[in-house]
Amino acid sequence: MKVIRVHITGWVASFRNPLFISGFQPTLPLPPLSALYGLLTAAKGDWVTPHDAAIGFVFQSTGKAIDLETVYEFAGKLDAKSNINRREFLVEPQLYLYTPDIWLRDVFERPRYPLLFGRSSDLATVKSIDEIELQNVSETTYQDTLLPFPDAQLYGQIQALPTHFTAEIPRRPLGTRAYCLITEQVKYSGNVLQDPEKKWGVYLHERVPGNFIVPNEAPRKSSVDKNYEVSIVGGDQMQLPGISS
């Protein structure tokens, strides 16, 4: 199968664990599909969802660390109090993104918006874009990737994660299902795909039938014309029945 392999790197990455709302914020060891489709959307400058492209990936990092960040807590008023949270992040992340949708090559050659590995400060850079042929093999090794659960051959952390979000505000998660986060080498048998150069398995998350609905933007209220004057209307006032002047 012919695909493009996009190598993207950064300094740090942070993918929020949806089980933690406040306090210490650990990072997921791998990006959810929603983060990757968000990356594609930023690169294109328009919505890219599982309805538009199939993707697979391998994500690696050299370690973890903890940062302190300032947060502002609102209590229904305009004023807010500041607090400090500990946030975990991944060091020296690199992503190998695979897709058979070759048209995305142009998107990554000239990204429309900055590419991010999570937060707005986690900037990422495209290092290379290669067109390769994935091999069909009967056995491979999966590592540092995300596969659907359940599967008798897989083991690792199980997490319910979305594939993408709605376009309207507030956003709602879509395509949420259980995934197995493969952080250790897992040998897998079956009709599978493998990168012949990297020697690792590539699981392609297939396109979803149908179209993604993008809501129409609400019309803006016209600005107030401060120079507007009420026109003077002459003539006699019409008399309503039962009312005398």
Tell me the three state secondary structure of residue 173.
strand
Rounded mean pLDDT, 58-65: 96
Task: Extract the tokens encoding 218.
Answer: 């609400």
Q: Is pLDDT of 194 > 50?
A: yes
The per-residue pLDDT for range 199-226, each reduced to its tens digit, is: 999 999 999 888 888 876 555 555 555 5
Rounded mean pLDDT, 25-32: 93
Which residue shows structure tokens 């709605």? 166
Tell me the three state secondary structure of residue 41.
helix
On the question of a cis peptide bond just before residue 31, with omega within 30 degrees of 0, the verdict is no
Whole-number average pLDDT of the chain = 87
The per-residue pLDDT for range 86-99, each reduced to its tens digit, is: 889 999 999 999 99
Tell me if 228 is assigned to some domain.
Answer: no
162: domain CATH number? 3.30.70.2660
Question: What is the percent of the chain where pLDDT is above 90?
Answer: 66
Task: Extract the tokens encoding 138.
Answer: 């009967």
Closest CA to 159 of 21, 29, 65, 12: 29
Tell me if 219 is assigned to some domain.
Answer: no
Tell me if 225 is assigned to some domain.
Answer: no
Tell me if 222 is assigned to some domain.
Answer: no
Total domains in the chain come to: 1
Distance (Å, whole) CA 199 – CA 114: 30
pLDDT of residue 235: 47
In contact, 124 and 39? CB cutoff 8 Å: yes
Domain hosting residue 53, numbered range = 2-201
Tell me if 226 is assigned to some domain.
Answer: no
Rounded mean pLDDT, 37-47: 95
Q: Is pLDDT of 38 > 80?
A: yes
Tell me if 236 is assigned to some domain.
Answer: no
Tell me if 179 is assigned to some domain.
Answer: yes
pTM for the model: 0.83
Distance (Å, whole) CA 166 – CA 161: 14
Tell me if 172 is assigned to some domain.
Answer: yes
pLDDT of residue 240: 44
First and final CA of the chain: distance in angstroms?
A: 88
